[in-house]
Structure 1
């Protein structure tokens, strides 16, 4: 897997480039992993509903995307990883791919001492707000009235698969201005709190976090 660090790049041209890469690749095209940050932008997935953008006092652009899921926010201080992977060559299906990407985020968080959790039916990775460093698993079924009670979302995931090849990917919050998340229902969930490593008291620079996530993705998404 070839790893490309793109730096701070606008969302729309990056989206267009990875879609073009995916549409033009052949069975022997090497997989790539793109790492970047985006200037402030809201992106809507295919299931996105306009009402999940609650208010936008900063005039942040809202871009329609063809990934799965609903609205999320990207901004500086967030590691965005776009694995461009041929699932057929890797010998796995979408469910296993999502599991592996989430596993890599969990392992990256663990390298900073933070315990990440999955929530059934809600892609991405979450942390316990009252004990982000504890190792206890989530217990019992979620409260249907508030499935994210006591949790904060630290990583969002949204993918597109075309001709068994993936694009879009995963975002991990490191040290960012979180206030734009207050203007949306993150991933379509009203009241879901979004956090980053800095919120949890973890000091981490973007380059270190990006390198750790990239290393894990390269291992778990390579044949």
Structure 2
């Protein structure tokens, strides 16, 4: 499986268009590829996205795209793994694929020392618990990784975004993934100092191993 980093920081729209072109032009013999990228600040609104979940973009561009899901933010300090893979050739369905992406993030976070990362039923992505001191009514989950995929003729693209060490304030301009009041965190705010490139490399390698 080919793995490559794109130029950083990358504008969102050209990368999205390149993913579309690659997927539309691939054949049953085309190798699967993984792209790693750190985006310039952007909000992306998925196919099911609703404008009311964009509260105040503060001048950050908003791009309507064709992935699944609602609205999210990409920006410096976040690594995005784009998985341009043939699901049909691999014999895997979308629900299983989403589970695999989540598991790869969970594995990387556990290896890095982020405690308690988990899934949330009915809400794709990866979450970490926030203490009862922060949430007096009980322990809440904050999102550390968001995912969204698009499938075209049995081939998937888009992927998963993991917050490593970033300015989290732009998330306050949206209802992340369409959830009012959902908190977002990064690895640094979980007490783990991790390099963006090293984390991206670990995530891509974990996915490549799981996909083999």
Indicate the TM-score class for this superposition, using the shorter chain for normalisation. over 0.9
Q: Pick from 198, 203, 207: which aligns with 2:188?
A: 198
In structure 1, how many angstroms separate the alpha carbons of the residues matched to 2:162 and 2:211? Answer: 18
Q: Would you say the 8 A contact 1:7–1:35 is kept in 2?
A: no
Listed as ranges, the matches of 1:1-223 within 5 Å are: 1-8=1-8, 9-57=10-58, 59-114=59-114, 115-130=116-131, 150-222=140-212
Q: Provide the C-alpha distance between the structure 1 equivalents of 2:110 and 2:189, rounded to a whole number of angstroms.
A: 16
Specify every segment of 5 or more residues in structure 2 that has no aligned partner in the other structure, as ranges.
none
Report if aligned partners of 2:77, 2:163 keep a CA contact under 8 Å in 1. yes
TM-score by length of 1: 0.90
Deviations 1:96-147 (A, max 9, x none): 111111000000000111131001110000001229xxxxxxxxxxxxxx9x
Q: What's the secondary structure of 1:88's corresponding residue? A: helix
- The secondary structure found in structure 2 opposite 1:193 is coil
**Does the CA contact (< 8 Å) of 2:105 and 2:203 recur in 1?**
yes
Secondary structure of 1:181's aligned partner: helix
Give the secondary structure class of the aligned counterpart of 1:29: coil
Higher mean C-alpha deviation, range 108-117 or range 27-36: 108-117
Deviation at 1:201?
1.4
Distance 1:149 1:70 in 2: 24
User: Gaps spanning 5+ residues in structure 1: where?
Assistant: 132-145
Moved >4 Å (runs of 4+): none
Quote the RMSD (CA, aligned, Å).
1.4
TM-score normalised by the chain length of structure 2: 0.94
Structure 2 distance, partners of 1:103, 1:56, is 31
SS of corresponding position for 2:6 = strand
Q: Deviations over 1:138-190 (max 9, x none)?
A: xxxxxxxx9x9511100000000000100000000000010000000000000
Structure with the higher helix share, 1 or 2: 2
CA distance in 2, matches of 1:106, 1:197: 12
- Whole-angstrom distance in 1 between the partners of 2:19 and 2:25: 10
User: How many residues align structurally?
Assistant: 206
